[in-house]
Structures are given as C-alpha cells and as structure tokens.
Amino acid sequence: MDERVREHAEVLVDWSARVEAGDDVVLSVGPDAHELAVAVAEALGERGANLLATYSSGEITRAYLRAHDGDFDENPDHEHALFEHADVYLSLGGGRNTSATADVSSETRRAYNNARTEIRETRLGTRWVSTVHPTRSLAQQANMAYEEYREFAYDAILRDWESLADEMARLKTLLDDGSEVRLVSQETDLTMNIEGRTAVNSAASVAYDSHNLPSGEVFTAPYATEGSVTFDVPMTLRGEPVRNVRLEFEDGEVVDFDAEQGEDVIDEILETDDGARRLGELGIGMNRGIDRYTDNILFDEKMGETVHLALGRAYDANLPEGESGNDSAVHVDLITDVSEDSRLEIDGEVVQRDGQFRWE
C-alpha cells in the first residue's frame, strides 16, 4: 500500500474525526475507495473503535431511484437507527463515474432527499467527515493523469493542519470582530454585513466544526449583500458546465444575473425558493496545497487565493446560538479567483491583496 494512503487514513481518523476507543463508526465506502477503506479500517482497529462499513455507489442509487415510483417512505427506521447510535460518520468518496446518476430526474432526486431529512440531520449530528480517495474517475474530471492527480490530492490532504489552523485563526479573529466585508476585483465590487456572525476556522477537523478533508478555508454567513460579483472559476453544476456567472445584489437579494455558460442552471437554482436568492456563505480559501481547479467543490473552494460565496442555506455554526440564518433547500458554492487585481477589506482595512494576506 502507498504510504500516503495510510497517512490519509490517519489524518482522517485522528486529526479530522478525533476517533477514540469505543466510538461507533459508520464508514461509507465508494466502489473505488476500497484501498483507503482498508487503511481506515486498520486505523480504527488500532484505536479500538467499532466499525460498520456501508457501500455508497452511484450506480446502485441510480438503479434504485429509477425503478422506484417516487413515493418514498420517510426516514426508513433501520438507517435512521444506525445514525442515531453512531458517534462518527466517515465518508470515503470514490466512484467509477462522476456522472453515474446523470439520468435520474431532478424530481426523483428531490423527493428522495426530502424523504430523508431526519436521517440527514441525525447524520450531521455525529462527528462526520467527508473525504475522497483519489480515483481515476476524479482524475478524469480534473483533466489530469491518474498519477498526477494522486500527487495533487495528497498535496491537498496531507498538510500540516495544526499550523494552517493557526494561520486561519488570524483571519477568523478579524472576521469575528468585523462588521462589513468588501470584495473588490476587476469585475467585482461587493459589500456584505457580517456583524454578529461567527467565522469557522475550517481546519479539516470536527474540533474546528470543520467536516471536509481536505479543508483549509475560513467561512462565515454574510447578509445584507450589495453590489455585484463575477465568479470566474469554471465548474460543473448539476451536470452542466458553468462559466463566468455574474450576480447583482440589492438588499441582500439577487436582482440580476447572467453567465457566459450555464445561465439556465443558475436560473433554476435561484428559482428554488426565496433563500436561494440570498447568500448563505462567504468563504476564503487558504489551502495552498490546492493550486489548480479540478472541478470538484471539495477541493476548489479551499484553494488558496480564491473566495467563494454560496447561494442558499447558511450553516448554524456561523450563527448566534438559537438564531437561524438564511434558509433554503440549496447551498451552491461559486468561486472567484482573487490572485490578481483584487482586495478584501474588513471595515475598510485591506486584509488580503492580490491573494496575499497582510501577514504574509
């Protein structure tokens, strides 16, 4: 086994999920994530945790959903009970085809997801962490050779997380103390209110309210957004390529938009519900192990020298206890490159210019 696979497993189990002896762990395994699953099983055995492996396959989901009449039972008991008794949920993504469910209708998908709201909430109540095993299918999606992609993925995953967490803590403090954020670049001039909101230092560990490996971003939940922003990082949304989306905000709400490509997808997202036209997240990517776009949001939004904004649902972790933020059925991240001709200001002070933080 490649030593990096074992290191990945150890970072996931120890740094990210803080697994301890006696923890009941659900390990979700993608069809091509087998090798990582073996390494994680070894780490879980060593720590004396209890392992149940589930199988997460797009092809199985597709076959099931297409055959079903669409009238799904609400929160099936067996799956709900599993997560009610789980301490930790580790998801090892890694399929054979990132388009495996492309021909499942969005109505069926939505009905299935809606019928599983409580299971999802219960699962999000565990110490959950999502990661991916670098597979050939992900390499293909990134337009990269397999070996090249593995280098890329492990550069992103095998960081010195402790030291990155320290650096990100600086930005978190500035955001927590600040009231207004302004993002300016060639085609962007956007102000957002963040007063009263708490930033998350997303250091790839549940100890930091961070549930992705890799991570490496600081994010908060903005409101009262004004101005316009262009997202120049290319991505695929709902199976469609999306390029250069421009959003215009008034009073916190999108009042105009266009896109070079994928405008219909953006329209569809904005039409989901009222919350889909407001921002749920402002995130600042700080993982310099990620140095290129790979059309995979798990990596792209953490890339150093990028900023992302999400339309839709805000995360509770950013909000004062008991307060609910922007609510929506969607949370769609869009990314802008800030490495050139840009500045990020908090209450008028420049914190990042052309991708470099003022402490760099």
Alpha carbon distance 151, 181 (integer Å): 35
- Measured CA to CA, the distance from residue 360 to residue 348 in angstroms comes to 19
- Residue 60 tokens read as 């199985």
Of 142, 147, 229, residue with least CA distance to 190? 229
Residue position matching structure tokens 């889909």: 276
- How does strand 235-237 pair with strand 240-250? antiparallel
Residue closer to a copy of itself (CB basis): 32 or 300: 32
**Three-state secondary structure call for residue 24:** strand
Q: Cβ(92)–Cβ(213) under 8 Å?
A: no
Cβ nearer to a copy of itself, comparing 56 with 140: 56
- The dihedral region occupied by 97, where left means phi > 0, alpha psi between -120 and 50, and beta the remainder, is beta
Backbone angles phi, psi at 126, to 5 degrees: -85, 175
Nearer to a copy of itself, 25 or 269 (CB): 25
Q: Tell me the site size for a copy of itself, rule CB under 8 A.
A: 49
Which of 49/181 has CB closer to a copy of itself? Answer: 49
Question: At its nearest, how many Å lie between a copy of itself and the CB of residue 114?
Answer: 15
- CB-based contacts of 43: which residues, under 8 Å, 6+ apart? 6, 9, 10, 12, 13, 14, 19
Nearer to a copy of itself, 97 or 272 (CB): 97
Strands 200-202 and 223-231: unpaired
Question: Rounded to an integer, what distance in angstroms lies between the CA atom of residue 331 and that of residue 310?
Answer: 6
Sign of CA dihedral 208, 153, 163, 360: negative
What is the rounded CA–CA span in Å between residue 280 and residue 296?
Answer: 20
Among 2, 66, 99, 195, binds a copy of itself (CB under 8 A): 66
Length of the chain measured in residues: 360
Provide the minimum distance between the beta carbon of 176 and a copy of itself in the complex, in angstroms, as a whole number: 36
Question: Out of 2, 54, 106, 110, which residue is the one contacting a copy of itself (CB under 8 A)?
Answer: 54
Binding span for a copy of itself by CB under 8 A among 68-76, 172-180, 276-284, 343-351 = 68-76
Is the Cβ of residue 113 or residue 324 nearer to a copy of itself in the bound state? Answer: 113
Q: Which range, of 79-87, 174-182, 190-198, 323-331, touches a copy of itself by CB under 8 A?
A: 79-87
52 contacts a copy of itself (rule: CB under 8 A): yes
Q: By rule CB under 8 A, what string of x and - marks binding of each residue 108-127 to a copy of itself?
A: --------------------
Closer of 41 and 330 to a copy of itself (Cβ) = 41
84 near a copy of itself, rule: CB under 8 A: yes
Q: How far is the CB of 71 from a copy of itself (least distance, A)?
A: 7
- At which residue do the structure tokens 């650096």 appear? 167
Which CB sits closer to a copy of itself, 35 or 300?
Answer: 35
Stretch 18-47: interaction string toward a copy of itself, x if CB under 8 A: ----x-xxx--x-x--x--xxx-xxxxxx-
Residue from 4, 14, 56, 345 binding a copy of itself (CB under 8 A): 56
Residues that bind a copy of itself (CB under 8 A): 22, 24-26, 29, 31, 34, 37-39, 41-46, 48, 50-57, 59-61, 63-69, 71, 73, 76-87
